[in-house]
Amino acid sequence: MSRIEINPELCKACEVCLAFCPKDCIQQSDTLNRYGVYPMQMKEAAECTGCTLCATMCPDTAITVYRTVVEKAQNQEAST
Amino acid sequence: MTQTEKKVFARTEVLTSQQTHYCPGCGHGIVHRLVAEALDHFGLREKTVCVAPVGCSVLAYKYLAIDMSEAAHGRAPAVATGVKRARPDLFVFTYQGDGDLAAIGTAEIVHAANRGENISVVFVNNAVYGMTGGQMAPTTMLGQKTTTSPAGRNLQSEGSPIKVAEMLSALDAPSYIARVTVDKPAAVRKAKQAILTAFQRQIDGKGFSLVEVLSPCPTYWRMPAAKAMSAIEDTMVKVFPLGVFKDKEAANGNQTA
């Protein structure tokens, strides 16, 4: 499963990422950051596809996206 | 079958690690990222001078890890003209808001564009003065409520909003003038393309280029950030249509980026 990391010190909890996530993977954390904001975080059982829509829209560039990809070359080796 | 994890989206090093002072949901952050990624794309980080405006983005020099100069209110195109003429080898662009470029800086931007200075301008239009408390800007739309037009902008007393992209595209000299927005992921990608095209024009020595970016101001539009994003399409795009208003290379039959 792909995943995102939201830098809690950059996030201002504007919730724009939440509005654009097609899989509803994002929620607000219950830990304050040092600016007194409850930053956004990825849900634990999230079906993230690594589409990068949240990161594209994040006004604070707080999101890093890791996409899980299946290695095709090794897949072919295994099948032959 | 093995699965590997690939980093597909990360912060570029042209952006500093500092949290911005912009309000939550402000479009400036997205535009900063697009500009930073464009500089990264062309490998210009070490030979760029950005001229910062007065307005919300007055502190842009804290967030972009490039050489920056500050200009008096509205005078960024004049300062950029000087920098570019003194050091033509440098990449010079201004980053301006609508209160800066379209109000007090109208003379500078019109004449810099008319001279066809080989500089790029990133113009962020959010239809209010954000820094000083949400007053009416020249780009405020008819009927839009601000702190100095509490009943909405009135055509009889305040006139219509200034359309900078259309106005400057009437001049002969500018090479590329486009209006984009950052309200949706697809729009953000188009905005990045426009900024890349504008920067390419300066690199090729083609002259003046300007990208107007319609950007949300959730604080002074008095709405949540996500709603402000959708309000751009619902209200702003109707007044400020998107598109490329001037493209000299396309007119010459050359391929555009």
pLDDT at A45: 83
- Chain A CA closest to residue B15: A61
At B78-128, the pLDDT tens digits run 999 999 999 999 999 999 999 999 999 999 999 999 999 999 999 999 999
pLDDT at B236: 95
Mutate to test the interface with B, among A57, A63, A69 (most CBs of B within 10 A): A57
Contact A72, B13 (CB under 8 A): no
Which runs of consecutive H residues, i.e. helices, occur in chain B? 28-42, 76-86, 98-99, 106-115, 155-158, 164-169, 185-203, 225-231, 237-239, 248-251
pLDDT band of residue B252 (cuts 50, 70, 90) is confident
Mean pLDDT taken over chain B? 94
pLDDT at A70: 83
For residue B257, pLDDT beyond 60: no
Mutate to test the interface with B, among A17, A34, A53, A60 (most CBs of B within 10 A): A60
Q: Shortest CB distance from B1 goes to which of A3, A15, A78?
A: A78
Domains of chain B: 28-251 (3.40.50.970)
For residue B253, pLDDT beyond 70: no
Residue B108 has what DSSP assignment? H
The domain segmentation of chain A, as residue ranges, is 3-75
In this structure, what token pair is assigned to residue A77? 């080796």
Contact A9 B19 (CB under 8 A): yes
For residue B221, pLDDT beyond 90: yes
Backbone angles phi, psi at B34, to 5 degrees: -65, -40
pLDDT at B254: 62
Contact B78, B108 (CB under 8 A): yes
Higher pLDDT, residue A11 or A75: A11
Mutate to test the interface with A, among B3, B8, B180 (most CBs of A within 10 A): B8
Q: Shortest CB distance from B8 goes to which of A67, A71, A75?
A: A67
Pair type for strands B176-181 and B209-214: parallel
For residue B255, pLDDT beyond 90: no
Contact A56 B189 (CB under 8 A): yes
pLDDT at A46: 84
- Chain A CA closest to residue B228: A16
Cα distance from B76 to chain A (closest Cα, Å)? 24
Contacts of A20 (CB under 8 A, 6+ apart): A53, A54, A56, A57, B184, B185
pTM of this structure: 0.93
Which CATH entry fits the domain spanning A3-75: 3.40.190.10, 3.30.70.20, 3.40.30.10, 3.40.50.300?
Answer: 3.30.70.20
pLDDT band of residue B232 (cuts 50, 70, 90) is very high
In this structure, what token pair is assigned to residue B171? 């001049």
**Using CA atoms, how far apart are residues B229 and B122, in angstroms rounded to an integer?**
19
Contacts of A23 (CB under 8 A, 6+ apart): A46, A47, A48, A49
The mean per-residue pLDDT over the stretch B204-224 comes to 96
Contact A57 B185 (CB under 8 A): yes
Contacts of B73 (CB under 8 A, 6+ apart): B53, B54, B100, B104, B105
- Cβ contacts of B64 on chain A, cutoff 8 Å: none
Of B117, B42, B40, the residue nearest B76 (C-alpha): B117
Contact B183, B256 (CB under 8 A): no
Contact B188 A56 (CB under 8 A): yes
